[in-house]
Structure 1
Amino acid sequence: MTEPTQDSFPVTPTNKIRVAKRANYDRDTLFAILDEGLIAQVGFVLDDKPIVLPMAYGRIDDQIYIHGAKAARMLKKLKEGLPVCLNVTLVDGLVLGRAAFHHTMNFRSANIHGTARLVEDEKEKYDALVAITDHLAPGRWDETRETTKKEINATTVIAVTIEQAASKIRGGMPIDDEEDYDLDFWAGVVPISTSFGPAIDDARLKAGIPVADSIRKLTSRR
């Protein structure tokens, strides 16, 4: 195990990436991937069975927040303090080699291990709900009506402190066998990017209400 620094996570048997050139333990790199992603795959064991669920999330410093209905069985178990792992992956391109064996993807992924805990402090819970909402569209929370106490009470918020983490990153062209570079097969990269289409008004939207600033900014990203 390597010792952590203020800017990096320690390398342990749990988070060590096998291919060293793909590994990154820098905090800022990990946080940038989390902030760009939209869905976290949340894995844990429930009743001796592995479960992975896609969930919206928000981040405040080294805390990842997820939420759901209070009655959800999964959240009832998570609030007991289960170990969890989270993965957020951004796919940047298809990497197509001269041989099918060398096909892969360019990607950036954040892999996180921590322990789930129930958020009970009212301010932390409120801030977490703001973070989750604004993660989808920055500034959106302030464009919506005030959340009621009943709604907040009906929502369970789970925090996962980032205890161990690593980023795994792949970029560049395919790496073929040296003798295959003279073959007459196309090889290269097909870029992939996430884009947002024009906003579609709700059918029951009152006349004259413009698209919200947060959504206008989101859909104008390039």
Structure 2
Amino acid sequence: MTDSTHFPVTERNKVRRLHERGRYDRESVYAILDAAMLCHIAYIIDGQPYCTPTAFWREGDKLYWHGSSASRMLRAQKPGLPVCLTVTHLDSLVLARCGFNHSVDYRSAMCFGQAHIIEDLDEKARALDLMIDRFYPGRNAELRPSTTQELKATMVVGMEIENASGKIRSKGVGDEEEDYALPIYAARFPVTQVIGAAEPCPRMPAGVPVPAGLAGFTPGRRLDEIMSESYRTTYGDN
């Protein structure tokens, strides 16, 4: 019987080193993905490996990203291309009492599947509209609609997640038991990305209010928290 709450563990997605940090349940993997805006996509074209950073978004078990229609990566994915999409959050720097135990706390996810181009213009337009709302809830309704030419100049790629795994380290300092008494400085330095104060466009007409959907984008808030909140506002708990 298939367990719909977990991804099957295969040779492709199995966490081999420090396997106790591995996560295969959809809830953990999706939480890592939905807290991010950027990912890295690895693939091979004509025997040459590439890895491309790009914005992405999730709808259920599907991942999407977009780019220029002239992109080599995207054009190569038109007939279908196996890819690995990864996301990493750096949560802290960990200084231990020996070099071997220096580390970082992190959350990461790897997703595997077959990338393909979204050809249908209506489906492409829907996906791009949802991309905006995924990051900035409700914003698409306030924008000028994209032109046909703009849609043609943009390529959207979709990928059904076939396998995935997460990996999390959150233990902070982890020294050998006999080393804790050594008079050596050890600490955990939290690392976060935070939103700064908005810098409105100088050419914006006077009196334009801040949209309600951007209420969460307040200076000092963590970006990963905002992204997770924005996802839930747009998609619920999918």
TM interval, shorter chain, is over 0.9
- How many Å separate the matches in 1 of 2:9 and 2:86? 17
Q: Please name the residue that 2:108 is paired with.
A: 109
Query: CA offset at residue 38 of structure 1?
Result: 1.2
Matched, 1:6 2:20: no
| Secondary structure in structure 1 of the residue aligned to 2:85 | strand
| Secondary structure in structure 2 of the residue aligned to 1:200 | coil
Query: Which structure 1 residue ranges, 5 or more long, are not aligned?
Result: none
Cα deviation code 1:23-76 (max 9, x no counterpart): 000101111111110101011012211110110011111111111111122211
Query: CA offset at residue 173 of structure 1?
Result: 2.1
Deviates more, 1:212-221 or 1:194-203: 212-221
| Secondary structure in structure 2 of the residue aligned to 1:21 | helix
- How many Å separate the matches in 1 of 2:30 and 2:127? 16
- How many Å separate the matches in 2 of 1:142 and 1:34? 25
| Secondary structure in structure 2 of the residue aligned to 1:108 | strand
Query: CA offset at residue 184 of structure 1?
Result: 0.6
- How many Å separate the matches in 1 of 2:144 and 2:210? 15
Instruction: Report if the CA contact (8 A) 1:97-1:174 is conserved.
Output: yes
Q: Please name the residue that 1:206 is paired with.
A: 205
RMSD: 1.6
- How many Å separate the matches in 2 of 1:106 and 1:214? 31
- How many Å separate the matches in 2 of 1:136 and 1:29? 20
The structure-2 alpha-carbon separation of the partners of 1:4 and 1:103, relative to structure 1 and needing over 3 Å to count, comes to farther
Q: Please name the residue that 2:14 is paired with.
A: 16
| TM-score, length basis structure 1 | 0.93
| Secondary structure in structure 2 of the residue aligned to 1:219 | coil
Instruction: Report if the CA contact (8 A) 2:121-2:151 is conserved.
Output: no
Q: Please name the residue that 1:219 is paired with.
A: 218
- How many Å separate the matches in 1 of 2:12 and 2:31? 22
| Secondary structure in structure 1 of the residue aligned to 2:30 | helix
Deviates more, 1:203-212 or 1:64-73: 203-212
Q: Please name the residue that 2:133 is paired with.
A: 134
Divergent runs of 4+, >3 A: none
Q: How does 1:145-164 map to 2 (within 5 A)?
A: 145-164=144-163
Name the count of aligned residue pairs: 220
Tell me which amino acid in the other structure corresponds to 2:171.
G
Query: CA offset at residue 22 of structure 1?
Result: 0.5
Query: CA offset at residue 211 of structure 1?
Result: 2.6
- How many Å separate the matches in 1 of 2:44 and 2:131? 24
Instruction: Report if the CA contact (8 A) 2:38-2:55 is conserved.
Output: yes
| Secondary structure in structure 2 of the residue aligned to 1:130 | helix
Q: Please name the residue that 2:68 is paired with.
A: 69
Q: Please name the residue that 1:46 is paired with.
A: 45
| Secondary structure in structure 2 of the residue aligned to 1:217 | coil
Q: Please name the residue that 1:195 is paired with.
A: 194
| Secondary structure in structure 1 of the residue aligned to 2:115 | strand
Tell me which amino acid in the other structure corresponds to 2:60.
D
Instruction: Report if the CA contact (8 A) 2:37-2:57 is conserved.
Output: no
Query: CA offset at residue 4 of structure 1?
Result: 4.6
| Secondary structure in structure 1 of the residue aligned to 2:83 | strand
